[in-house]
Amino acid sequence: MNYPLDTVVVEKLWAKQASNLPWYTPWEKVCDGSQEQIRWFVGGQLNASYACLDVHVKAGKGKKVAIYWQGEQGQRRKLTYGQLYAMVNRYAALLQQQGVKKGDVVVLYLPMIPEAVAMMLAVVRLGGVHAVVFSGFSAAALRERIVATGAKIIVTADVGYRRGKTLHLKPIVDQAAEATGIEKVLVIQRSQEAIQINQERDVIVSDCDDDEVYVEPEKVESSHPLFILYTSGTTGVPKGIMHGTGGYLTYVYSTIKWAFGINEESIYWCTADIGWITGHSYVTYGPLLHGASMVMVEGAPDYPTPDVWWKIIQDYRVSIFYTSPTALRMFMKQDEAQIAQHDFSCLKILGSVGEPINPEVWRWYDRVIGRQQCPVIDTWWQTETGGFMISPMANQERITLKPGSATLPLPGVIADVVDERGESVPANTKGFLVIKRPWPGMAIGIFGDQERFKEIYWSKFPGAYYSGDYARKDSDGYFWLLGRADEVLNIAGHRIGTAEIESAVLMHGAVAEVAAVPVADQVKGEQVVLFVTLKDGIVQSPHLIQEIMLVVRKEIGAFVTPREVFVVQQLPKTRSGKIMRRLLKAALNGNG
Ligand code: WT7
């Protein structure tokens, strides 16, 4: 292996961290292979569901609360580790009855309910692989992901709730599953509304608390896939990022401890949806591995009242709060004095993720929510990295934080900023953020396409992982994230490729060409603006613009509704015919 000299030290670090997890069989080698092919804790066997639940129940912590759940109407539920463990066992038994075996992919299309966490753990208890699809994705987007995974089983709920509206998820699944490989649709019933049932295919998940079943956790080798999570890149086809078991869990366990100092006493609240990587690593796996209590909330941040989140922090005595700059920017528009009336004395750590946090947002978070008594932990990472890469460490002898900087790489992470040739750039120079050594949380591949995995992440700069982000290092070596370097947008922390948006727009029969261009947005960070040319003979109308907006919602989901659609006579192109998006972007953002 061609690593810097301190390989021995780094391997020791990860071996020590991995030993915090319960292994059935110890590993033979800390790691093997290099770059995109590296595998961690080779030969070791474990089970993620066992590590998150059984260990705590066995240690006599079955009565401890695992999840405090709150719905939009203020409904509350409490699940202890013992109850969650029982639920996971019942779900695992049900999935087993439906034929799920080791290595099978199960798609989950679920709202933010404890059952979602339980289903993830039930799938992996059997050695299955979950593929969670964010429940804000449309039927078309869900279908694309179902087909890509080849899944035979999907789990959904009849409904979800957001901003007072009932979202009917089951009909979306019905539409998405048609003429795919889906054989069974498992439905968690929440409402009293009648559900349209397909007798041969649908199974209502009737969950009876009194049923005691035990499903033996499947022992899997460390590199056995734990989940697939689709994310966007520069092409129109989403990538199924695949994570392994032992390396990933070791990394999530370590990073949530280092960055947030989580422990059994923590009341931890991460506001991310389980449909994104944050919801995997730091809603489901991270807090449960540590036996912490978490708060889980369904619905919008400012509904039914603008202060619902602050009340939750106060009522549940949240000690670690982890959210996105987009949410903070929305709250910054509210009356500060009213927010500050809440009792935030319980808070110890504030986290941020998803987008660069502007220094003024950082300061507001620190002052108003943290009362200048909680470190603001800005965590830079990605779906592909599995866990935090660049982030302050809560319990480290306080390094000086700098508002707007994710500070320094975590232990074992070698990050750098390089130019096109892969050479480190001088301080304060913008360049590409790369990671110069594999880490245990790194994705193990793209589902069904190892070549693409290598090409996208490990080929641009030989020997290093390419993140797709711009960054600069200051003279103290602190990292400042400067947004994506590729054709990927970040709308309210949701990552989406311009190519994906463009292929959605082209589904509209009137559109000849399109350029999807990011524009800065005060709350969401970025939004998308579309420039389209129409096919010959088509006349522009407000109705047509509306339809083009709708096609994006239909093909992807409402979270990418374009801010504006401009119909133009022609798009600026290079001599070879490539649309010059940079030019449009510069023009839109007022620096053209
Ligand atoms: C992209 C990854 C990682 C969980 C949520 C998003 C941007 C993420 C930060 C941060 C600046 C950030 C990057 C990255 N990003 N966190 N703290 N500061 N930018 O995961 O959907 O895989 O998106 O989000 O551009 O590449 P994701």
CA distance 225 to 62: 28
State whether the beta carbon of 229 lies less than 6 angstroms from ligand 1.
no
Residue 2 confidence class, pLDDT cut points 50, 70, 90: very low
State whether the beta carbon of 324 lies less than 6 angstroms from ligand 1.
no
State whether the beta carbon of 353 lies less than 6 angstroms from ligand 1.
yes
* Predicted confidence (pLDDT) per residue in 292-305, tens digit: 999 999 999 999 99
| Strand, helix or coil for residue 192 | coil
State whether the beta carbon of 280 lies less than 6 angstroms from ligand 1.
no
CA distance 36 to 403: 34
Q: What residue owns the CA closest to ligand 1's atom 8?
A: 354
Mean pLDDT of 400-407: 96
State whether the beta carbon of 406 lies less than 6 angstroms from ligand 1.
yes
Residue from 252, 256, 271, 382 to probe ligand 1 pocket by mutation (most atoms less than 8 Å from CB): 382
* Predicted confidence (pLDDT) per residue in 510-537, tens digit: 999 999 999 999 999 999 999 999 999 9
State whether the beta carbon of 490 lies less than 6 angstroms from ligand 1.
yes
Can you give the pLDDT at residue 396? 74
Can you give the pLDDT at residue 106? 98
Can you give the pLDDT at residue 303? 96
Percent of the chain with pLDDT over 70: 98
State whether the beta carbon of 249 lies less than 6 angstroms from ligand 1.
no
State whether the beta carbon of 281 lies less than 6 angstroms from ligand 1.
no
Backbone angles phi, psi at 359, to 5 degrees: -50, -35
* Predicted confidence (pLDDT) per residue in 457-466, tens digit: 999 999 999 9
Helix axes 81-97 and 114-125, enclosed angle (nearest 10): 60
* Predicted confidence (pLDDT) per residue in 538-585, tens digit: 999 999 999 999 999 999 999 999 999 999 999 998 888 888 888 998
In order of 156, 278, 293, the CA distances from 69 in angstroms are: 18, 18, 11
Backbone angles phi, psi at 96, to 5 degrees: -65, -45
State whether the beta carbon of 380 lies less than 6 angstroms from ligand 1.
yes
Q: Which residues contact 128 (CB under 8 A, 6 or more apart)?
A: 95, 100, 101, 102, 103, 104, 105, 106
The answer to whether 190 touches 204, Cβ cutoff 8 Å, is no
In order of 307, 311, 335, 431, the CA distances from 304 in angstroms are: 9, 12, 17, 43
* Predicted confidence (pLDDT) per residue in 65-118, tens digit: 999 999 998 999 999 999 999 999 999 999 999 999 999 999 999 999 999 999
In order of 22, 394, 572, the CA distances from 48 in angstroms are: 9, 26, 51
Residue from 252, 495, 498, 526 to probe ligand 1 pocket by mutation (most atoms less than 8 Å from CB): 495
Q: What residue owns the CA closest to ligand 1's atom 12?
A: 355
State whether the beta carbon of 278 lies less than 6 angstroms from ligand 1.
yes
The answer to whether 272 touches 281, Cβ cutoff 8 Å, is no
Q: What residue owns the CA closest to ligand 1's atom 18?
A: 356
Q: Distance, CA 327 to ligand 1 centroid (Å)?
A: 15
Can you give the pLDDT at residue 7? 83
CA distance 280 to 132: 9
Backbone angles phi, psi at 552, to 5 degrees: -65, -45
Q: Which atom of ligand 1 is nearest to the CA of 495?
A: 21
State whether the beta carbon of 277 lies less than 6 angstroms from ligand 1.
yes
pTM reported for the whole predicted model? 0.95
Residue from 353, 442, 457 to probe ligand 1 pocket by mutation (most atoms less than 8 Å from CB): 353
94-103, 164-173, 423-432, 516-525: segment of lowest average pLDDT: 516-525
Residue from 270, 484, 488, 490 to probe ligand 1 pocket by mutation (most atoms less than 8 Å from CB): 490
State whether the beta carbon of 383 lies less than 6 angstroms from ligand 1.
yes
Is it the case that residue 23 has pLDDT exceeding 90?
A: yes
Q: Which atom of ligand 1 is nearest to the CA of 384?
A: 22
Residue 508 confidence class, pLDDT cut points 50, 70, 90: very high
Can you give the pLDDT at residue 591? 62
Can you give the pLDDT at residue 582? 85
Q: What residue owns the CA closest to ligand 1's atom 14?
A: 382
Q: Distance, CA 77 to ligand 1 centroid (Å)?
A: 31
Residue 398 confidence class, pLDDT cut points 50, 70, 90: low
Q: Distance, CA 355 to ligand 1 centroid (Å)?
A: 5
Handedness of CA 300, 304, 307, 313 (dihedral sign): negative
In order of 324, 370, 374, 393, 472, the CA distances from 349 in angstroms are: 14, 8, 5, 10, 26
The answer to whether 33 touches 265, Cβ cutoff 8 Å, is no
Q: Looking only at Cα atoms, what is the longest distance across the chain?
A: 73
CA distance 133 to 120: 12
Q: What residue owns the CA closest to ligand 1's atom 5?
A: 354
Q: Which of 224, 274, 230, 218 is nearest to 249 (CA)?
A: 224
Mean pLDDT of the chain: 95
Q: Which two tokens stand for residue 37?
A: 């092919």
Q: Which of 109, 195, 106, 131 is nearest to 557 (CA)?
A: 109
Mean pLDDT of 467-488: 95
Q: Which of 399, 400, 348, 397 is nearest to 374 (CA)?
A: 348
Q: Which atom of ligand 1 is nearest to the CA of 352?
A: 17
Mean pLDDT of 486-513: 93
Can you give the pLDDT at residue 592? 46
Q: Distance, CA 483 to ligand 1 centroid (Å)?
A: 9
Taking CB atoms within 8 Å and a gap of at least 24, the contacts of 201-209 are 201/177, 203/94, 203/98, 205/91, 205/94, 205/115, 205/155, 207/87, 207/90, 207/91, 207/115, 208/90, 209/83, 209/86
The answer to whether 218 touches 193, Cβ cutoff 8 Å, is no
Q: Is the N-terminal amide bond of 304 cis, ω within 30° of 0?
A: yes
In order of 106, 135, 173, 401, the CA distances from 201 in angstroms are: 15, 21, 12, 54
